Structures are given as structure tokens and as C-alpha cells.
């Protein structure tokens, strides 16, 4: 597709498999952003600048790292000459950083996250193709918000999770469809849900809250849930069964936590479908009545990010609960995709 003018894209490099090399016993992130970028062709009409933020494997990321990404993207977008941003990221926690960025993003210029399933020095690796597609998307998809581009597909940040440990097509929204495809020098978008207003961004040096996740299973009791609260968790995500169901004992633990000012969210270990208040006797009906927020189609990692954002961006238990409810609501309306080209 013919470019109308030179497009400027900034790559924020954070490490991950896309920056990894063999260390003798396994792979680890070590390559700087310029070296990662050199592995991929740059789309015609696109000029790229690299910001090396940090170089770590994504399982080691902290909330502080993720907030640093949010602030770095915000800083990059203070330059009106920038048309879009690409964040190269490890795949293990890419879905969490993408959703955090999405919650705070207010700019019409796109932010695209990508990575690789195979390391940088793999001659048959997927890094060059994914990076090229991400650069192209960031240069064209004005108004698209925060996206995940992987294996030729464009996904919305919200709801997109890693669905395979090793396959090249590692990302999808189990409850929805991709936004579009990348190919032949263009990006073809699909309809997508309207975006929320960006949240108030906390200070770069803001203290990050402890938010834990606890999974329900057969024979589970609230021991670990209570332990998280006792350890100082300001938020807890209960990964329930089915449509968001646990036991009466968990309901009592949730009620105790909420009374103590802890923000509680309920998601499910089921891959697709919404958390829905159907059952009582410890089910989602009772958990919601006890003060927990049901997280719709957000799965564990993104539900935790929603809790973190609510704790960082609102003051007081009632305000944080209200903000979390607003974050997890899925807009019903669908609008056309962003301008491309």
C-alpha cells in the first residue's frame, strides 16, 4: 500500500524471547533494541527510533516494570511527529502489560505490542515477521488503541491472552475474534468495541500494591486466600470454576476481605465465556453479594491488572470498587475499525 508520507514509529524495547540468545543451558534476554530491530525489515515509508527501556525475560516483570512501560509510551507520544509506538515484549506476560497500557492510553496514535516464540538467533525464528507486522500496524492503524500483533493477526489488547506455550500463533481472545490481519503491505481491520476513557496515570514513583491470585479447585479451602490478605494484599483475584463459582467458605472469606478494605475480583479458570451470576451456595451470585467484582471475559492475568489499575487510580474502597466495575464492563456497542492508510 502506497504511503502518503513518511511515518515515524518508536520501538520501546523491553526484552523477552525476541531479544534472547543461548546462554549455555537455555535462553535469556540480552540483546538491545537496535539489535532486535536489525533482525527485521522495516516497512517502506517508515522511520524507526529505538528506546531501550530494559532487557528482561517477561516472567521477571514487576508492576513497577509495567508502569515504566506505560510512562515511557506516554513520554514518546509527547512528540507530535510520532505516528505510533511498538513495544517489544516477552510473551509470558505480554497480555498483562498490553491491558495495563490499554487502560491508561488516551492518544489516537496506536500502541502495538509484539514479541516472538523463538529466540533472536534462531535462523527460522518468527521475530522478523512479527516485528515487521507490528511496525506496519503502528504506522497505519490510527485510532486503533492498544493492539497485540502476532503471526499476521491484529488483536485488541483487552481479552487477548497467550493460548499456546510454543506455537507461532500464540495469542488470541478465546471469547472473541481478531480485529484484523496484516499482509501485502496493509492492515485489514475488523469491527471492534468502543474504547473507555483512559484512567488517571499514577506518578512514576508511585508505590505498587500487592495483588495476589488464588485458584479454586476440588477440595480447595480459603487458606491461601486468607494468607494473601494476611500478607498485605490490597487486592485478590479469585480464579473460580465454571461461570465464577466457588464454595460458601470462599464467600465468607471474600466478605471478610471486603470488610477489611481489600478489593476482590472473580474470574474463571475456563478459557472462554463470561463470569456470570447464575449459582448460589458459594457461586458467583453469593460472591458478588459478598462484595467481589465479577470480571466478565477478563481472565486471571488481565483481571489482576484491572485490580492493580483500580487501586492505583482511585482513592478509597468504594471508589476503587466502582472503578473496577467500570473497567470490567464490556461495551455492548460495536463501531467500525480505525482508519488505516
Which position has the grid cell 510520532?
82
> Torsion angle of alpha carbons 186, 192, 194, 196, nearest 10°?
-80
Cβ neighbourhood burial of 137 (10 Å; 0-12, 13-18, 19+): buried
C-alpha cell at 228: 494473601
Given 3-state DSSP classes, what are the helix, strand and coil percentages for the chain, each rounded to the nearest 5?
30, 25, 45
Mention every residue, 6+ apart, whose C-beta is less than 8 A from residue 317. Answer: 258, 261, 263
Which position has the grid cell 538467533?
121
- H-helix or E-strand containing 186? strand 186-189
**Residue 195 three-state SS:** coil
C-alpha cell at 246: 466457588
Q: Which residues are catalytic?
A: 17
Q: Are 175 and 159 in contact (CB under 8 A)?
A: yes
- Alpha carbon distance 117, 115 (integer Å): 7
Instruction: Tell me the β-bridge partners of 114.
Output: 88
Amino acid at each position: 500500500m502506497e504511503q502518503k508520507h513518511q511515518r515515524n514509529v518508536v520501538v520501546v524495547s523491553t526484552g523477552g524471547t525476541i531479544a534472547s540468545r543461548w546462554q549455555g543451558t537455555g535462553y535469556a534476554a540480552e540483546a538491545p533494541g537496535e539489535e532486535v530491530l536489525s533482525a527485521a525489515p522495516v516497512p517502506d515509508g517508515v522511520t524507526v527510533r529505538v528506546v531501550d527501556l530494559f532487557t528482561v525475560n517477561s516472567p521477571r516483570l514487576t508492576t513497577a516494570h509495567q508502569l515504566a512501560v506505560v510512562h515511557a509510551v506516554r513520554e514518546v507520544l509527547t512528540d507530535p511527529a510520532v505516528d505510533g509506538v511498538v513495544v517489544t515484549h516477552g510473551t509470558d506476560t505480554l497480555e498483562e502489560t498490553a491491558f495495563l497500557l490499554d487502560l491508561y492510553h488516551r492518544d489516537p496514535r496506536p500502541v502495538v505490542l509484539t514479541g516472538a516464540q523463538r529466540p533472536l538467533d534462531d535462523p527460522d525464528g518468527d521475530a522478523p515477521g512479527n516485528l515487521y507486522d507490528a511496525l506496519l500496524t503502528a504506522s497505519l492503524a490510527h485510532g486503533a488503541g492498544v493492539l497485540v500483533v502476532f503471526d499476521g493477526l491484529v488483536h485488541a489488547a483487552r481479552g487477548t491472552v497467550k493460548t499456546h506455550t510454543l506455537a507461532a500463533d500464540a495469542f488470541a481472545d478465546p471469547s472473541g475474534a481478531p480485529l484484523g490481519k496484516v499482509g501485502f503491505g496493509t492492515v485489514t481491520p475488523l469491527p471492534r468495541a468502543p474504547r473507555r476513557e483512559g484512567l488517571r496515570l499514577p506518578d512514576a514513583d508511585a508505590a505498587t500494591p500487592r495483588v495476589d491470585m488464588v485458584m479454586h479447585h476440588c477440595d480447595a479451602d480459603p487458606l491461601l486466600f486468607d494468607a494473601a490478605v494476611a500478607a498485605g494484599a490490597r487486592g485478590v483475584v479469585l480464579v473460580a470454576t465454571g461461570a465464577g463459582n466457588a464454595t460458601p467458605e470462599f464467600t465468607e472469606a471474600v466478605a471478610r476481605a471486603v470488610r477489611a478494605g481489600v478489593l476482590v475480583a472473580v474470574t474463571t479458570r475456563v478459557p472462554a465465556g463470561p463470569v456470570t451470576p447464575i449459582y448460589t451456595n458459594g457461586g458467583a451470585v453469593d460472591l458478588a453479594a459478598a462484595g467481589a467484582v465479577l470480571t466478565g471475559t477478563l481472565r486471571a492475568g488481565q483481571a489482576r491488572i484491572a485490580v492493580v489499575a483500580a487501586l492505583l487510580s482511585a482513592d478509597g474502597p468504594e471508589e476503587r470498587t466502582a472503578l473496577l466495575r467500570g473497567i470490567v464492563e464490556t461495551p455492548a456497542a460495536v463501531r467500525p475499525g480505525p482508519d488505516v492508510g
